[in-house]
Amino acid sequence: MSDLPGFLSVRVLRGVNLVSRDVTGSGPYVVLHLDNQKLKTSVIKNTTNPVWNEDLTLVVKNPATPIQLEVLDKDTFSKDDQMGDAEFDIEALMQIIQMDLEDISSGTVVRTVRPGRQCCLADESHIIWENGQVVQDMLLKLRNVETGVVHLQLKWVKIPGGLHLQVTTIDPDS
Give tens-digit pLDDT for 13-39: 999 999 998 777 799 999 999 999 999
138: CB partners within 8 A, 6+ apart: 88, 113, 121, 125, 151, 152, 153, 154
Determine, yes or no, domain membership for 167: no
**Which pTM does this prediction carry?**
0.87
What's phi and psi for 160, nearest 5 deg? -55, 130
| Burial zone of 47 (CB within 10 Å; 0-12 exposed, 13-18 middle, 19+ buried) | middle
Range of the domain at 46: 6-158
Residue 161: predicted pLDDT: 58
Query: What is residue 96's three-state secondary structure?
Result: helix
pLDDT surpassing 60 at residue 146: yes
Determine, yes or no, domain membership for 110: yes
Least confident of 96-100, 115-119, 161-165: 161-165
pLDDT surpassing 80 at residue 46: yes
Please name which of 79, 76, 75, 87 lies closest in space to residue 31, comparing C-alpha atoms. Answer: 87
Region 5-9: mean pLDDT is: 83
Determine, yes or no, domain membership for 60: yes
The domain that holds 50 is classified in CATH as 2.60.40.150
> How many structural domains are present in the chain?
1
pLDDT surpassing 50 at residue 51: yes
Question: For residues 115 and 171, which has the higher predicted lDDT (pLDDT)?
Answer: 115
- One-letter amino acid at 52 equals W
Residue 6: predicted pLDDT: 74
44: CB partners within 8 A, 6+ apart: 27, 28, 29, 50, 51, 52
Determine, yes or no, domain membership for 135: yes
pLDDT surpassing 90 at residue 98: no
With cut-offs at 50, 70 and 90, classify the pLDDT of residue 163. Answer: very low
pLDDT exceeding 70 applies to what percent of the chain?
A: 88
